[in-house]
Chains A and B, each alone.
Chain A
């Protein structure tokens, strides 16, 4: 007996000893760094690289609780196009691989639920000794439903700042985090192949005062040679300025680069894009500059809704309101409802407008951000397509056939259902090649765009002398040499700016309905204004403008079979567009919105595949026009002191 227990102790110690040693096999140095000088780069960014910057695996405290048992390695394999077996058993595969992936597990309690779940019950009972934790532990071991209930409670507790002490023990959390982080960095390097697939280090920083979502994904440019010198920063009990301090310290100490991507402003109850600083005092130029530098891009569309704009804010935009239902009701756990006065701080378009106002006052625009989409999937499966939706989390993978009709409330109030989830978005990055440095730098200069899932190719160049004749030559070169791409800034020259705009449909997807320019500006009195221009659309001769907007493109979706045809719409739309409402000295931004023809949403695919009826409300929302949002191009006066 004595022998056996000593032997058992030896076994476990041996496992610990082995897991503690350096597990890295020698890698090609090209894989472990930023990827600079590893592949031949194009002269100009030549195609959009597709990725997801917001994927959770079983290392996320909530994802594990929701039941996912796939880790970062499966996530990377799946994103690269390989088939994996989902937690609930089905075979999952992306028909088209992604080009890059950021695994963004929550830094708070990184791996904590998994460690809790793996711990012996007596350890939880005796050593942790917290009744709530023990109850969650038992619920997690009951089965998937218990696990999901436990995690819903946990998220609400985190939002209400009533997490048990055991989850807040910073030091033991750090120890657990360090092992996971280092393992993950090694894994990312192994899967990082310059020119083929880019694996990017990151984490999600989960600040959530009173349940109002202020989450950011933190994304690194570097390989493990630098990222090993830091650890993910916890979000609970910090402020956004501490995040920026952390990022600045990382850059200073390692010579590396890092940026943060806010997301789900739609459930922030107006706190994501405030006119003031986080503490309520008037915004200073220094604060605005820090925010702009640290957060050049915002994730505006993902599974938990779309944050481009809200019909309340954009009453004259007949295409406003995509992905707003359900999410507009309140903050993340629905512990506080949203009121209309909060919307301007919760949506991207109004934030871009607020940025112009603040810039006029401070000389710095805190909200001059580019836009991307991502998934925020908690299944380790980065799925963005309507016909391949693997769920927000493991509790609504396709194995749960009625998932579209199930209530999805994190807190206790009613209001959100499965069908409110979008299938998830993707990020497109215009880069000269597929490496960490190229992808990151595209984000940094905002040469990125958002889609709600489809892979349309969208370009916009702003300048002052583009003409139709440019299409006949190398117009991409013209765009880069005589103008600026999306994310760029134009300096007012006293005449209206002109834009080269091109949109190609997703080659394997639906045709395009229309291409629009969304302009926001400050009028002569300093008031913020917005307008949506239909720039080019399919069958223009047959679809005149009416008082209520363009004649609709039509709808080919068969509700019985969840199919559509590309007999309407266009494969490619492009235009040289000059701002008809330009006024000298105006501060403005311009971004492109590309709208697809109507297609079935994942809910309709589910209803047909699994043979059940959607509620009338869900059915009314079962067909949608998916879209892309580019980063804006800004127009403004020359910086002060440089006349």
Chain B
């Protein structure tokens, strides 16, 4: 289900929900009017307190436990109203910060639950391709030599032949990897080798030597994924990144809309 563009605007959510809550507050529900000296803990309120208890403890509260919760609710309500009555919220830097944070949150909360369309994700992916470059994959064979000269000699020995001889050092490193993402290559052979491997042409010929922390390798690339980053496999990550970007963008947009209504004078 897709919503019209205006229905996705944070300001619309903000105003809509605000109106709804304002209505609810005006027309009844739990009164939080600080001027009132009546605190009503009606059946609905009590049921809510009991439900809260049950969700965490896995059982209904006893009468005593419910009484204790009601008592605490009343205490907080009394002190909260008194604090408001005294205007303690007025010059409190933390209240100010909390409310700023909550405004940001109302703008971004919708993004947290929003379902991006495939087209949106594709567009985001295209715009940020470079970020996902690490996911391309390669198939290769390698042989390890103790020093560069030996490796060069080993490479000469391979001349024109695709027969994998027993030359090179005995090693626990895999002699070949198939369709391995570069990060997997780096996990086994190290960063130096992985970045060296990127430079090797994928022509099925032996090349090198490519240095690593273990020594010098001659390598033959049998396949390199032509399609570099793959949208389908990266989708979860792209969706996460899209969401983060969307949250930031919505906060900025919501602020821009509100900011427009103000004229700011800064004394110089």
Contact = CB atoms under 8 A, between A and B. Distances in A.
A571 interface: yes
Interface stretch (A115-123, A152-160, A368-376): A115-123
B8 interface: no
A126 B83 contact: yes
A417 interface: no
B160 interface: no
Contact of B115 (A25, A172, A471): A25
A9 B99 contact: no
A6 B98 contact: no
A14 B98 CA distance: 14
A489 interface: no
A190 B236 contact: yes
A12 B92 contact: no
A14 B83 contact: no
A533 B17 CA distance: 71
Given A11-B99, A14-B17, A505-B213, A118 B94 contact: yes
B231 interface: no
Contacts, number: 152
Interface string B50-63: 00110111000000
Contacts of A95: 191
A47 B98 contact: no
Given A6-B25, A122-B89, A18 B109 contact: yes
Interface in A1-57: 5-15, 17-19, 21-28, 31, 47, 50
Interface string A495-519: 0000000101111110000000000
Interface residues of B, number: 67
Given A127-B76, A507-B188, A572 B171 contact: yes
Pick from A12, A14, A81 the residue with the most CB of B within 10 Å. Answer: A14
Contacts of B199: none
Interface in A138-166: 141
B193 interface: yes
Interface string A196-216: 100000000000000000000
Nearest to A190: B240
Interface string B206-250: 000000111100000000000000000001110110011000000
Interface stretch (B40-48, B100-108, B148-156, B253-261): B100-108
A452 B22 CA distance: 58
B213 A97 contact: no
The 3 closest A-B pairs by CB, nearest first: A507-B190, A122-B88, A18-B109
Interface of A: 5-15, 17-19, 21-28, 31, 47, 50, 73, 81, 95-97, 99, 118-123, 126-127, 141, 171-172, 174-175, 178, 190-191, 193, 196, 231, 457, 459, 471, 502, 504-509, 566, 571-572, 574
Given A28-B236, A120-B92, A120-B98, 9 more contacts: A11-B18, A12-B102, A25-B112, A119-B94, A123-B80, A126-B83, A191-B240, A502-B172, A571-B214
Given A120-B94, A504-B172, A9 B106 contact: no
Contacts of A27: 236
Given A15-B106, A15-B109, A178 B55 contact: yes
Given A7-B22, A11-B106, A502-B172, A47 B187 contact: yes
A471 to B, nearest CB: 7
B12 interface: no
B131 to A, nearest CB: 9
A10 B215 CA distance: 67
B98 A171 contact: no
A123 to B, nearest CB: 7
Interface in B65-87: 69, 72, 75-76, 79-80, 82-84
Given A25-B113, A571-B214, A126 B82 contact: yes
A409 B215 CA distance: 45
B7 interface: no
B88 A25 contact: no
18 contacts: A5-B84, A6-B25, A6-B33, A18-B106, A23-B112, A28-B235, A73-B244, A96-B187, A178-B55, A191-B240, A457-B188, A504-B171, A504-B172, A506-B190, A506-B213, A507-B213, A571-B214, A571-B215
Interface of B: 14, 17-18, 21-22, 25-26, 32-34, 52-53, 55-57, 69, 72, 75-76, 79-80, 82-84, 88-89, 92, 94-95, 97-99, 102-103, 105-106, 109-110, 112-115, 134, 170-173, 183, 186-193, 212-215, 235-237, 239-240, 243-244
Contacts of B235: 28
Contacts of A8: 99
B115 A47 contact: no
A218 B224 CA distance: 42
A508 B191 contact: yes
A583 B89 CA distance: 77
Contacts of A191: 240
Nearest to A76: B240
A635 B22 CA distance: 72
Contacts of B32: 9
Contact of A193 (B57, B80, B236): B236
Contact of B188 (A47, A97, A118): A47
Contacts of A10: 18, 21-22, 25
Contacts of A190: 236, 239-240
Contacts of A96: 186-187, 191
A25 B114 contact: yes
A81 to B, nearest CB: 8
Nearest to B65: A171
Nearest to A99: B187
Nearest to B89: A120
Contacts of A127: 75-76, 79-80, 83
A178 B54 CA distance: 12
A177 B16 CA distance: 30
A97 B183 contact: yes
B183 A507 contact: no
A571 B172 contact: no
